[in-house]
Structure 1
Amino acid sequence: MFKGKTVVITGSSRGIGGQLAIRFAKEGANIVLNARKEISQELIKKIESYQVETHVVIGDVQKFDEAKKLIDEAHNRFGRVDVLINNAGITRDTLLMRMTEEMFDEVVSVNLKGTFNTIHHVSKLMLKQRFGTIINMSSVIGEIGNPGQANYAASKAGVIGLTKSTAKELAARGITCNAIAPGFIETDMTDSLSEKIKETTLSHIPLKRLGKTDDIADTALFLANQSYITGQVINVDGGMVMNG
């Protein structure tokens, strides 16, 4: 399906990002991995077991020049960027009254500005190519809000607005831009939650279970394999947003 194509995934050392990399590799895509610190050899070997090529770019996408380095290295290595998935994100949760300026700024800088930075740099390349797919990772929290996550909610709501504006600007050249809004997904972060918090969370999910990283990967593969959906937000949340 994606044989010979190049997929760049930010924040792809583990969790959703790691699973995205594996699934696109399984479909034949060459993968550009990105993280702020390191990518495990285990993940790289898993990707390369599908007979595709991988390239690792260590860098912090909230920094404009490091985001440029990511896109430039992907282009130099493979000669094209077909899909960009902005998955890098952080949380610094606390109640609004206790939230420091630094906590707010850091989350917005990584989650929103980092997404802008990579889009800014890849858009120039995709406009020349006259093709490309951009997928941004938002969150249902960006649509319904959540106590203790004002910074995260603001950043993910911003990603939605950025997605829609990008879609309108780039559509004339055949470039699509959509967002995925996950609910609660089984990752290392959710594994560490207490049973009480898990029970409370499940009570807000009509399907009564957490999602899996494959649910996000399925959606990303779908969006990357179509050319007539753009500017949309796809909720992958077990119906959680309906109870918002």
Structure 2
Amino acid sequence: MSRRVSKTIFPRPCSRSFIPIQRGYSTSPQNPAISKPTHVLITGGSRGIGLSIAHAFLRTGNHSIQITGRTSSTLETAIDSLQETCKLANPDTEFSDQTLALLIQGTRADASDPSIWKSVFAPLRKEHGAGWQIPDVLVNSAGVTYSSLLMAMKEESIHHVIDTNLKGTIFACQAVSKAMIRSRRGQSGIEPKKSLCIINISSLLATHGGKGSTVYAASKAGVLGFTRALAAELGPSGIRVNAIVPGYINTDMTQAMDPTARRKACEKIPLRRFGTVDEIAEAALFLARNEYANNCVINLDGGLSAAM
């Protein structure tokens, strides 16, 4: 079941002329392709792993960020924190409100609804015309889970998990890859074309399963199979497709675990701790930067998969 999606809420995109001409965000009339920020689109980017990835990109270079999330309040809080990160990462740059609105954008959207891609892209097309920001990097981080035995799981919940985790990833890749291919066809010059990148967030449960997580495991296993097939399909077009497979990570979901269950989970992990969202973000940066990483699946589980 799809949900109605609202327009981009905060902040609105602004003209490209507001890109600051200092540290990391410099412009060059001779080679504007170099000065253009790398545009990163992150679904589910308003919290958890997705938000950490957004912060990591802003801390490490010339990037503009667009995140999606399901609630306006969470998006606004996330954007406030991302603006602060942008300022701290560029202390020699004075950012106007208009510049920050260009560099950091938020769209309220439910990843389970394929029609969101009209709401994600349409405001940018309207504002920029031919110069609207096509993502250089897409990170599919939106996800939901229900802890329930299959026999007790409601049909609506099953659809919600599959629609968000698997179909949401598929529709995002379909919409963004089309735009990516068009953008690469329009590139010119003697410099080699830089590849574009899609990063899908899967889960250790995709390969090892677990009681009470049948549908979630199925959705994330589907993401892995989809990633591998898409890597072969889009590689010749200069688009790399990779996946990250997190184990137990300190997020809202794991913090809600029963203390006894959490302790037992830690005892099974060879490193004896849960991972952090920042450690997942570092892997995303590697996949985005490494020009030979295609069909690359990175397990980040503290060694748990080897001990199971």
Same fold (TM over 0.5): yes
Whether 1:34 aligns to 2:88 is no
Shift in Å, 1:22 = 1.0
Return 5+ residue gaps in structure 1 as ranges.
Answer: none
**C-alpha distance in 1, partners of 2:106/2:251?**
22
The normalised TM-score by structure 1 is: 0.93
Query: What letter corresponds to residue 78 of structure 2 in structure 1?
Result: L
Partners of 1:144 and 1:177 in 2: how far apart? 22
1:40 CA displacement = 4.2
Instruction: Give the alignment of 1:39-58 within 5 angstroms.
Output: 39-49=74-84, 50-51=86-87, 53-58=103-108
Tell me if structure 2 keeps the 8 A contact 1:163–1:179: yes
Residue 110 of structure 2 is aligned to residue 60 of structure 1: yes
Give the match for residue 227 of structure 1.
291
C-alpha distance in structure 2 between counterparts of 1:64 and 1:227, whole Å: 29
Deviations 1:178-197 (A, max 9, x none): 01010011112222222211
Q: Match for 1:11 among 44, 68, 78?
A: 44
TM-score by length of 2: 0.75
Change (3 A) 1:74 1:136: farther
2:235 to 171, 194, 197: 171
Q: Aligned pair 1:79/2:133, yes or no? A: yes
Measured after TM superposition, the shift of residue 67 of structure 1 is 2.9
Q: Which amino acid aligns with 2:42?
A: I
Q: Which moved more, 1:186-195 or 1:145-154?
A: 186-195
Give the C-alpha shift of residue 70 in structure 1: 1.9
SS in 2 for 1:81: coil
Tell me the CA shift for residue 234 of structure 1. 0.7
Distance 2:245 2:306 in 1: 13
| Deviation of 1:129 (Å) | 2.3
> Unaligned stretches of 5+ in structure 2?
1-23, 26-36, 88-99, 185-194
Other-structure match for 1:201:
265
Deviations along 1:126-172, one digit per CA (max 9) or x if unpaired, are 11223410000000000110110000000000000110111111000
CA distance in structure 1 between the partners assigned to 2:144 and 2:274 by the alignment = 20
In the alignment of these two chains, the number of paired residues is 244
1:140 corresponding residue in structure 2:
204
Q: Distance in 2 between matches of 1:184 and 1:194?
A: 14
Q: Is the 8 A contact 2:68 2:75 kept in 1?
A: no
Shift in CA distance, 235/72, structure 1 to aligned 2, threshold 3 Å? farther
Aligned to 2:170: 116
Distance in structure 1 (CA, Å) of the matches to 2:200 and 2:139: 6
